[in-house]
């Protein structure tokens, strides 16, 4: 099946620094990628929808200036957490949609990135 990778798998950073997380579709071209955040023992919350070559669409309550999303190619989207604070510590998961696959299981999820802000 389709594979989506994330890098890094985990990261620890100091408060006030920025962290970039990459999401790659390895064997298909993803016109749309999604970024989710998951706190412990909670569900996945959609942060933003990223379309290749255009600006991301953020969900209500998600600060676009804090969570910068770049979808520069059909196989790569990046999420940058700027000026990270301890409350940004979470599990960040991306998914990529293969437009050539049948609906609905066209979203393939990455393995997630564990961010810990000290």
Q: Figure out which of the listed residues 12, 18, 27, 111 binds another protein, where binding follows CB under 8 A.
A: 111
Look at the chain and count its residues.
118
Measured at the CA of 103, the angle between CA 98 and CA 108, to 5 degrees, comes to: 40
Region class of 26: left (phi > 0), else alpha (psi between -120 and 50), else beta:
alpha
The interface region with another protein, picked from 11-19, 42-50, 61-69, 78-86 by CB under 8 A, is 42-50
Residue from 20, 52, 57, 76 that binds another protein (CB under 8 A)? 57
Residues binding another protein (CB under 8 A)? 4, 6, 32, 34, 42-46, 49, 51, 57, 91, 93, 95, 97, 103-107, 109-112, 114
């Amino acid at each position: 099946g389709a594979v989506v990778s994330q890098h890094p798998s985990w990261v620890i950073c100091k408060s006030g620094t920025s962290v970039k997380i990459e999401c790659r579709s390895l064997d298909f071209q993803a016109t749309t990628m999604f970024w989710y955040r998951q706190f412990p023992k909670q569900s996945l919350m959609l942060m933003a929808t990223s379309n290749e070559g255009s600006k991301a669409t953020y969900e209500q309550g998600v600060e676009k200036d804090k969570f910068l999303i770049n979808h520069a190619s059909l196989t790569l989207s990046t999420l940058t957490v700027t000026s990270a604070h301890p409350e940004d510590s979470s599990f960040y998961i991306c998914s990529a949609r293969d437009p050539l696959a049948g609906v609905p299981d066209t979203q393939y999820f990455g393995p997630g990135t564990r961010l810990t802000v000290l």
